[in-house]
Each structure stands twice: as structure tokens, then as C-alpha cells.
Structure 1
Amino acid sequence: MLLDTPICDFGWKAPDFTLKNPNGDAFTMSEHLGEKGLLIMFICNHCPYVKAIASRLAKDTQQLMAEGINVLAVMSNDYQTVDADSPANMLRFAEQHGFSFPYLVDEDQHVGKQYGAVCTPDFFGFNHLGELQYRGRLDDARLEDDPNREPELVNAMQMIAAINKGPKQQTASMGCSIKWR
């Protein structure tokens, strides 16, 4: 089912969480809330929308991390029902696409529910205070690679890092619904 993300609820405070990656390493959100902010993304392996943007996502997040903006990805889908999203497949997908950010398993789906994540991909850009400032899309290229694309997520996170506020105009991300239990 195709869904769009809700409009950004500016100032909404990020709930803290600790999740593990497929190798069992724990990551706590509050420890990654750096002075230039934090991007939390809800993604998965099987969604055609995530597959279509995966190489751009890897490139854009590498740029953000090089600029001191932290990035965490969360996989909230029920992988018992969708085997393509299993932790073993998360490792393969991350390696295949060159993800350099932690890719975390939301085993009981509580983080996805706390955040109100609705689809993959779903981007949440927070300032250093943990206040939501961006809930838009990756770029304007949609499912196509476009060398002239507008990197809306990168631009928004750079703005948040500089002035703690995100752009007032944001275009919703679009993707497959999260597969809830």
C-alpha cells in the first residue's frame, strides 16, 4: 500500500530508544543526538521505493555524516511475515548499497509506533535538542536517478545543523506502508 508521510510536527520531541543492529550491537538514540542534529530514517530491504533510492541515500547520508550530522536507520517491518526484511537480509542490503550508518532492528515495532512512522522511507530530521524539524522526502527525483535532482533531505539537514530549524516548505516522503504485526 502506497502512503505519504504526515506534515512535519515542528518541535515534536524525539523519544529515546535503544535498538540493536543485526550483529547485536546496541545503539541509543540520545547518544547519537549530536550538536549538528540527527537523522532517523525508517527503511526496509524489500520496498521498491527504498530500493530505488538506496544508492542516493547512501551517498547523501555519507555527505551528512562527513559534515557531523548523525544518522540512524530503523527497520520496523514484521520480518516474520516479510522474510526479505530479516536481519540477515538487512546486512546484505546494507553491504550491497554501501550504507555506512547503523541499520537497526525494531524487533517489537515499538520505535516505529512511538515515532508514528507510516512508510518506508520515512525521514525524521532532528536538531541538537531532539526537536523534529524535517519530515520530508529524500529528493525530487522520485524513483529515478537524476543528476539534476534537488537533494531536499541534505539541504534540510544542513539548515538544521546551521540554525536548528528546518525548512517551512517540505514535500512528504512516499513509500510502502510499514508491515505491522
Structure 2
Amino acid sequence: MAALNPPLCNFGWKAPDFDLPGTDGRRHSLEALRGPKGLVVVFICNHCPFVQAVVDRLVRDARDLAAKGIGFAAISSNDVAAYPEDGFAEMGEFARRHGFSFPYLYDEDQSVARAYGAVCTPDFFGFNADLELQYRGRLDDTGRNTPRPDARRELYEAMTLVADTGRGPADQVASIGCSLKWKA
């Protein structure tokens, strides 16, 4: 398994619209998901060891960012024919098991992942209130390792700055993760 890094933030890039089914049985649009101060869209999947390593901290940060007016959504775009553990029913179980307080959406035709230029899981896109990209970094610096008590909450800190100022930090470190599993 080769780890990939997405490109760094293209400040001001506008979030592409979408309307996707969620594991909660509802459809979710970009407009409905955004909070009054911004939105985080993260591409994840169930089987990725990078996602599995950070999922509890991701849930914590989504909860804490909601209190600051930042919406949050996770999207799975992997090819489920090749990776059945990432299927829609399995996504629902993954979300329940980890206590997702945010929608977990299914991008079956991979059009949303392509529109966003998603590269890996996890791949974070942090937008301001105008849905302009302000953060394309990582959750924190622990990757697949056991988190340290003093690990900086990079996504949380960046999106708190976005909530307060509308702008993300100039210095960002790209996320790292498994490649998205594209259909043939």
C-alpha cells in the first residue's frame, strides 16, 4: 500500500456542489451541510488504516467544530466492487460504531471525488462561510501512529481560525493516506 499526499490548499477555490445519499437514509447537499462559519468535507473509507487510526479524533473534531458553526461531512467514493468493505451498508455500520454526529455520504459514481480532486483517504477540504477553500491539510501530525497527548489539532485549529476570520493558516501540511480506489 503506497501512501499518497494531496496537493496543498488552493485558497479561494469554490466548493463544487453535490447531492448525495447518506447512511442516515437522507440525501445531503453542499448548501444544506454548510454551517454559518464554514464546512469541512473529508473523503474517507472504512478499510483504510489511516482513516481507522484517526476516526475517533475526527469524530471529536467534527463535534467541537460544530460548536463553532462549522458544518462537517464525510464522503466515501471508493470502488466497492473491488473493496466491498467500503459498501453503503458497511458505511452505515462504520458510522454507527464510531458515533458519527455528521453525515457519511456515498459517492457511488465518484463524480464528487473527481470534482474535488480528492486524492487519498483521509483528504480534508476546509471551506469558509462563502464555501471558499481555506484548508487542505491534515487532521494532526500522528498519521497512523498512536496519538500523542500533545499532538496539535491542526484541522481543528485551522477551522477555528476560519470560523473567526474567514481565512485559513498560510502554513499547512498535507494529509497522508491510502489512494482513492477508482473504478476501472
TM-score range, shorter chain: over 0.9
> Residues 142-171 of structure 1: CA distance to partner in whole angstroms, max 9, x if unpaired?
222221110000000000011100000000
TM, length-normalised to structure 1 = 0.97
Alignment: residue pair count: 181
Distance 2:22 2:33 in 1: 15
2:151 partner letter: R
**Shift in Å, 1:96:** 1.4
**Shift in Å, 1:141:** 2.0
Residue 70 of structure 2 is aligned to residue 65 of structure 1: no
Gaps of 5+ in 1: none
What's the secondary structure of 1:7's corresponding residue? coil
2:133 partner letter: L
Runs of 4+ in 1 over 6 A off after TM superposition: none
Aligned to 1:29: 30
What's the secondary structure of 1:172's corresponding residue? coil
Q: Kindly indicate whether the alpha-carbon contact (under 8 Å) linking 1:19 and 1:106 is maintained by their aligned counterparts in 2.
A: yes
Aligned to 1:161: 163
Q: Kindly indicate whether the alpha-carbon contact (under 8 Å) linking 1:45 and 1:90 is maintained by their aligned counterparts in 2.
A: yes
Aligned to 1:175: 177
Aligned to 1:119: 120
Gaps of 5+ in 2: none
**Shift in Å, 1:5:** 1.0
TM, length-normalised to structure 2 = 0.95
Q: Kindly indicate whether the alpha-carbon contact (under 8 Å) linking 1:19 and 1:28 is maintained by their aligned counterparts in 2.
A: yes
Q: Kindly indicate whether the alpha-carbon contact (under 8 Å) linking 1:141 and 1:150 is maintained by their aligned counterparts in 2.
A: no
**Shift in Å, 1:60:** 1.0
Greater shift after overlay, 138-147 or 122-131?
138-147
1:61 partner letter: A
Flag the 1:12–1:80 CA change in 2: closer, same or farther, 3 A: same
Aligned to 1:44: 45
**Shift in Å, 1:31:** 2.0
Distance 1:112 1:25 in 2: 20
Aligned to 2:10: 9
* Alignment RMSD: 1.0
**Shift in Å, 1:32:** 2.0
Distance 1:140 1:2 in 2: 15
